[in-house]
Structure 1
Amino acid sequence: MIVIPVIDVMNGLAVHAVRGERKAYKPLESIVSKSTDPVEVASIFSSIGFNYIYVADLDAIIHRMPSWSLYSKLKSVVRYLMLDNGARSYRDCMKLLDLGIDYVVIGSETFESMNELKSLLEVYADKVIISVDLMHNQILSPIQSVRILRVDEYLRILYGFGLRSAIILELSRVGSGLGIDTDMINMIGRLTPLVDKLYIGGGVRSIEDIEVLKEIGVYGVLIATALHKGWVAIEDLRSKGYL
């Protein structure tokens, strides 16, 4: 099990993401870092011992304004960078791979072509992670035929394309502190056989949540609010072998 800190970036600052309500996001307040500089936050996480850092460039995702200079700076302070910058096409993804990004996260919310997604997975499945972006269990996508699918149906299609790694990101639970409930556990249990490496994000509140997800076969957990508020303590992660 890998525990992966998340840094959401908006207007050049690390922000606190809550329930996918992006217009209401405020600059980050954290017990981990007093800074809102995403590079400094990433550097602190790396110094703590986190090998993987996930960054969502919300300016790129929402406004198509990628922060190219930021990506190189982030890459210089983290061991493995997982980056979602709102890629919409094969070409967008290749720009990131050419920049040396370790793992390009392709969000269902923004990517515009299943054919191009298939082409990417056929060649770059080890470098590409598909994020199944959900709002109240509904897939977010500009592709109408994707929006009507269940999560398991979508993953089966992607598995046929060569999918190896996927994130299930429930935006309505992000920053909520709701924790992992029985319905979510049951859904995840049905999905783990469909992908080699399954990551979960949204609502993880405690070390117990992380332990439950590990037991049902989840490969990695994306976590932000619980770290910044101290609900998941660094000492507990170390004692459990996650750092």
Structure 2
Amino acid sequence: MTSPVPQVIPCVDIQSGRAVRLYEGDPDRETVYFDSPLAAARHWADLGAGFLHLVDLDAATGRGENRAVIAEIVRELGVPVEVGGGVRDRAAAQTLLDAGVQRVVIGTAAVRRPELVAELIADYGPGRVVVSLDARGLEVATHGWAEGSGVQVGELTPRLAGAGLHTLIFTDVTRDGTLRGLDRDLMRQVRGLWRGELIVGGGVADTDDVRLLAEEGIEGAIVGRAIYEGTLPYPVRL
């Protein structure tokens, strides 16, 4: 018996004020899909998206930030969004949450400063905080995916569960933006390591990948290139 149809969450990656997708997370290998991130977000909202995943790539790589653009999307669309990229301290998280972001996505800081996750959950509740573990295999990558941390996903998941985390995002960095499809074995391993809500990314290409998620009991996927280029029709119907 399979799970219900997983939620497909459109992703809007923002770099230099434009909506882009990166190949394997490389900021120098971008494809621009919309000059305006607001136009990209509105496109998916108009197609029925009930939730959006925004990534501030400039903040993630230390090249700047796009908070004004993000605030405009929140203000203009009224669709719940989560935001990741460069959320490495309390001030950055608070700025986004105060701007109306539904939940913040903690990446590098979950590895380097795990106490931040517990503090934010205690202050804002588990519905406002998500952790994203972006990995090559099961080794977590940090600082905009540029560095290997030497830390395994399985070392972090018990600690995150103990901090009260409800939702985990796992991204397969080696497949992100490639349309290569999901790695079933890796998805199954991560599902075994995390029993809370699991949202995955990296390589989703078509409806077969969405069916794979349902078969493995994974609640959702963050999808970019596949829905921008139409290899996965959106809204998704199996």
TM-score range, shorter chain: 0.7 to 0.9
Identity of aligned residues (%): 24
Matched position secondary structure for 2:127: coil
Contact 1:107 1:130 (C-alpha < 8 Å) held by counterparts = yes
**Separation in structure 2 between the aligned mates of residue 67 and residue 128 of structure 1, nearest angstrom:** 20
1:27 correspondence with 2:32: yes
Distance in 2 separating the partners of 1:110 and 1:234: 32
The residue that corresponds to 1:157 in the other structure is 159
The Cα of 1:107 is off from its aligned counterpart by 1.3
TM-score by length of 2: 0.87
Distance 1:179 1:37 in 2: 28
CA contact (8 A) 1:39 1:74 kept: yes
**Residue type of the alignment partner of 2:130:** I
- How do residues 105-124 of structure 1 correspond to structure 2 at under 5 angstroms? 105-108=105-108, 112-123=112-123, 124=125
Question: Do structure 1's residue 148 and structure 2's residue 146 form an aligned pair?
Answer: no
Aligned to 1:31: none
Any conservation in 2 of the 1:64–1:86 contact (CA below 8 Å)? no
Q: 1:95 to 1:23 in 2, by over 3 A?
A: same
- Whether 1:68 and 2:67 are equivalent positions in the alignment is yes
- 1:166-187, Cα deviation, whole Å (9 max, x unpaired): 1001222111111123322321
Contact 2:9 2:222 in 1 (8 A): yes
Gap change, CA 1:36 and 1:25, over 3 Å in 2:
same
More strand by share: 2
Equivalent residues of 1:87, 1:111 under 8 A apart: no
Q: What is the aligned partner in structure 1 of residue 87 from structure 2? A: 87
Tell me the amino acid that sits aligned with residue 26 of structure 1: T
Mapping for residues 204-219 of structure 1, pairs under 5 Å: 204-219=204-219
The structure-2 alpha-carbon separation of the partners of 1:105 and 1:138, relative to structure 1 and needing over 3 Å to count, comes to same
Partner of 1:49: helix, strand, or coil? coil
Paired residues of 1:87 and 1:110 also in contact (CA < 8 A): no
Residue by residue over 1:16-43, the C-alpha shift from the partner in whole angstroms, topping out at 9 and shown as x without a partner, is: 2111111222322xxxxxx321100100
- Runs (5+) with no aligned partner, structure 2: 1-5
Deviant stretches of 4+, over 6 Å:
none
Partner of 1:135: 136
For residue 52 of structure 2, give the secondary structure of its aligned residue in structure 1: strand
Confirm or deny: 8 A CA contact 2:110 2:131 kept in the other structure: no
Cα distance between partner residues in 1 of 2:114 and 2:71:
29
- Contact (CA 8 Å) 1:89, 1:112: kept in 2 or not? no
Unaligned runs of 5+ in 1: 29-34
Q: Which residue of 2 aligns with 1:181?
A: 183
